[in-house]
Chains A and B, each alone.
Chain A
């Protein structure tokens, strides 16, 4: 009791200096249980919250919020406040907000940034300010190669995703001939290249072609796919173009199975493809979207709680957002209330999360690297399972 009390006091003192120096301490909520003074530390969440791609950033924000609300409800000595930073996915906006988070709000950690582009820009600022970050959705491979000490992500990068999907195509579909298409953007080309390499490693013949994401007529690509008669088609890119491509492929009478990566894991793929064209399409993602909680007990509880709180089923990255916030919560629970200590704690963290064992390698990459595959049917998608052992119907 005494020990816990004094430790709590130290943490409280450290945290309150942070908060006080920030903005007059009006966030310093006192009261709570048993006469001990509680303090509040600020945790940031950065991503596109109102822009074009907010549909894939609001779910992880909700997940993180839920984890923090659950933690605060236990009346801990150090409470956490989640501060949103709406970068709209624009790197310039993200860097300005990161400065604000550091200098004005004095955050002790950041969940995010959501996308890889903004992460590239915000990384150096956090590194200099010595603020740990855990992204729930930035999957670009190069982020882990920067040597950043304060950067982490909760889901594996595109190399692991691309390899996982490539091996899935070779194993579960036993395809011998695959056509790989991408739209020449950084993410799209990257993942298409990893899929291609994995397929070639398994002795699969691969043809490739490129579409223009700003164009709408993919006839030239389709004219190449048709005579090649592939058993499967992998598309690297986002769902808006993916849906359009799939529609034109089916209209031209190409019936090969369509596959894609996390950029296409959205009901918009089926909408763009029209009718039942997307049925049977398989999309891989390092993220776990498991609204029925089939994969494990924690996931089941998460799905039920999420639904009760937000009145909608968990969507893409919501569980990852929850896990990213959990990493910080565990650190603060263990009595680490400043950024430096939290970062040290993150390097040794090892707890079971909703999506995986939360554990980071020295470069900030998650230790586990599972890729999950989803199948579209009737306009939405369901979890097939881990790409290593999932089967398609």
Chain B
């Protein structure tokens, strides 16, 4: 058992980080919306799914004659990320308009918004399975539930190779891109006027209104940014796996939400820490006990962390602490 772990330590570390990077980006959407609205946006997993479909459609439309490596790959990734950000961000804003804003206006309870979120999630899944995927990818109606593959556009090669420590280009790109996006977002929220508005609303919505913050605008911005991050995650996912399906967000959404809670929900840096931690725990746990124990171990660790630190690794809200 321990021997397995030692043998697989480096591969597990690399894979854990690259998996965790995607968790972290998706976790941002959960954490930002929770920070501002105290709402768990369960339809966020579908925002991610929509991003993967958009990215896949883009590659299929452009078409690639040969797998891309080096700069070509980076260029393609940037293009996919931009498409993903626009589509997922737009979808998140639309979702807020349709599913949450009317409830918020009427002062419905948070529980009602939660049900609305679950409903929106199921609705989007089925609409994509029944209508969007068959239409976009020219399939018979019953083909909408099967995975859709992209043409192979990634030339995979090892960029670092020191003994057991081998890093493949796509895995490295995932981690680097995720960290860059996180840092950019963190700076944005800390330094810009809009960021200050977001922090103010998270801290105390009523006082924020009195100080002249337009709450509706802040909420829209929050959904747009969270969605855009899911769009980047979708582009990275597409590069890693080159396929998607209508159900792709489900498990990933649960894991990302777990990562958000693990790191401290409402806390941007917590999402990063939680995502990487969860990815590593899953891979180390699988190496030690076998892949079937992956989720058991991940959630056991989550429960343990929450027992000793109920607000997660970094505490609930950075916005609050630093305000």
Q: Which residues of B contact A227 (CB under 8 A)?
A: 7-8
Q: Establish whether residues A274 and B149, one from each chain, have CB atoms under 8 Å apart when the complex forms.
A: yes
B290 & A209 in contact (Cβ 8 Å cutoff): yes
Interface contact B251-A215, CB-CB below 8 Å: yes
Question: Bound complex: CA of A148 vs CA of B242, how far in Å?
Answer: 46
Say which residue of A211, A214, A272 sits within 8 Å of B247 (CB atoms): A214
CB proximity of B21 to chain A, nearest CB, Å: 12
Interface string of B137-157 (1 = CB under 8 A from A): 000001001110100100010
Instruction: Report the bound CA distance from A298 to B123 in whole Å.
Output: 49
When chains A and B are docked, how far (Å) is the Cα of A209 from the Cα of B8?
A: 14
Q: Are B283 and A224 in touch, CB under 8 angstroms?
A: no
Render B240-280 as a binary contact track against A, CB cut-off 8 A, 1 for contact.
11110101101110000000000000000000000000000
Contact B147 A244 (CB under 8 A): yes
> Is A226 a contact of B242 with CB atoms below 8 Å?
no
> Which B residue's beta carbon lies closest to that of A274?
B152
A46-54, A139-147, A170-178, A345-353: which one contacts chain B? A46-54
B142: A residues at CB distance < 8 A = 50-52, 54-55
User: What A residues does B147 contact at CB under 8 A?
Assistant: 240, 243-244, 272
- Whether, in the assembled complex, A251 has its beta carbon less than 8 Å from a beta carbon of chain B, the answer is yes
- The docked-state distance in angstroms from the alpha carbon of A240 to that of B291 is 19
B11 part of interface (Cβ distance < 8 Å): yes
Interface readout for B219-239 with A: 1 if CB under 8 Å, 0 if not? 000000000000000000100
Q: How far, in Å, is A134 (CB) from chain B's closest CB?
A: 25
Given contacts A54-B142, A217-B19, A244-B147, contact A212 B242 (CB under 8 A): no
The answer to whether B4 and A220 have CB atoms under 8 Å apart is: no
Q: Which residue of A lies closest to B22 (CB)?
A: A217
A221: Cβ under 8 A from any B Cβ:
yes
Residue of A whose beta carbon sits closest to that of B150: A274
Q: Are B12 and A244 in contact (CB under 8 A)?
A: no
Residue in B closest to A48 when the chains form the complex, CB atoms:
B142
The B interface, classified by DSSP as helix, strand, loop or mixed, is helix
Q: Given the complex of chains A and B, what is the CA–CA distance between A221 and B7 in angstroms?
A: 13
Nearest-neighbor residue (CB-CB) of A268 within chain B? B146
Query: In whole Å, how far is A266's beta carbon from the nearest beta carbon of chain B?
Result: 10
A29 at the interface (CB under 8 A from B): no
Whether B283 contacts A219 by the Cβ 8 Å rule is yes
Q: How extensive is the interface on chain B, given as a class? A: 35 or more
Residues of A near B242 (CB, < 8 A) are 247, 274
Check if B203 is an interface residue, CB within 8 A of chain A: no
Is A93 engaged at the interface, CB distance under 8 Å to the other chain? no
- Please judge, given known A-B contacts A209-B291, A212-B294, A240-B147, whether A220 and B286 are in contact too, CB under 8 Å: yes
Residue-wise, chain B 268-304 has the 8 Å CB interface mask toward A (1 for contact) of: 0000000000000011001100111011000000000
Q: How far, in Å, is A36 (CB) from chain B's closest CB?
A: 43
Counting CB contacts under 8 A, is B96 at the interface?
A: no
- The reply on A75 being an interface residue by CB < 8 A is no
Contacts of B243 on A, CB cut-off 8 Å?
216, 244, 272
Interchain CA distance A209-B251 in the complex, whole Å: 20
Kindly report which residue of chain A lies nearest to residue B149, judged by CB atoms.
Answer: A271
Q: How far is the CA of A50 from the CA of B143 in the complex (A)?
A: 10
- CB-contact partner of B11 in A209, A226, A240, A247, under 8 A: A226
Given A219-B19, A224-B8, A274-B242, answer yes or no on A212-B152 (Cβ-Cβ < 8 Å): no
* Contact (Cβ within 8 A) A223 B251: no
**Is A275 part of the binding interface, using a Cβ–Cβ cutoff of 8 Å?**
yes
A214 and B283 alpha carbons, distance in the complex (Å): 16
Whole-angstrom CA separation of A223 from B19 in the bound complex: 14
Q: Are B283 and A52 within 8 A (Cβ)?
A: no
Contacts of B46 in A (CB 8 A): none
Tell me whether A13 is interfacial, beta carbon within 8 Å: no
Chain A 354-381 per-residue mask, 1 if CB under 8 angstroms from chain B, else 0 = 0000000000000000000000000000
Residues of A within 8 A of B247 (CB): 214
CA distance A274 to B59 in the complex (A): 15
Bound-state CA distance A217–B252 (Å) is 10
Contact, CB under 8 Å: B146 / A240? yes
A190-230 CB contacts (< 8 Å) to partner B: 209-212, 214-221, 223-224, 226-227
Taking CB atoms, residues of chain B closer than 8 Å to A219 are 11-12, 15, 18-19, 283
Q: Which residues of A contact B282 (CB under 8 A)?
A: 220
Whether A184 sits at the interface, judged by CB under 8 Å, is yes
Pick the residue among A55, A209, A223, A244 that contacts B241 (CB under 8 A).
A244
Are A220 and B291 closer than 8 Å at their CB atoms?
A: yes
A44 to chain B, nearest CB (A): 22
- Contact assessment for B248 and A223 in the assembled complex, using a CB-CB cutoff below 8 Å: no
A224 engages B291 (CB within 8 Å) = yes
| Complex CA distance for A328 and B52, rounded to whole angstroms | 49
Q: How far is the CB of A236 from chain B (nearest CB, A)?
A: 13
Contacts of A52 in B (CB 8 A): 142, 145-146
Q: Is the CB of B152 within 8 A of A275?
A: yes
Indicate if the CB atoms of A214 and B250 lie closer than 8 Å.
yes
In the assembled complex, the CB of A120 is this many whole angstroms from the nearest CB of chain B, namely 23
Using an 8 Å CB-CB cutoff, how does the interface string of A41-72 with B read, 1 for contact, 0 for none? 00000000011101100000000000000000
Interface, chain A (partner B; CB < 8 A): 50-52, 54-55, 184, 209-212, 214-221, 223-224, 226-227, 240, 243-244, 247, 251, 268, 271-272, 274-275
Closest 7 CB pairs of A and B: A220-B286, A219-B15, A210-B292, A223-B11, A214-B251, A52-B145, A220-B291
* Complex A-B: 27 CB contacts under 8 Å: A52-B145, A184-B292, A210-B291, A210-B292, A212-B251, A212-B291, A214-B250, A215-B251, A216-B241, A216-B248, A216-B252, A217-B15, A218-B291, A219-B19, A220-B283, A220-B286, A221-B286, A223-B287, A224-B8, A224-B286, A224-B291, A243-B147, A244-B147, A272-B243, A274-B149, A274-B152, A274-B242
Q: A219-B11, A220-B294, A244-B243 are in contact. List 6 more A-B contacts (CB 8 A).
A: A220-B15, A223-B11, A223-B286, A224-B291, A227-B7, A272-B149
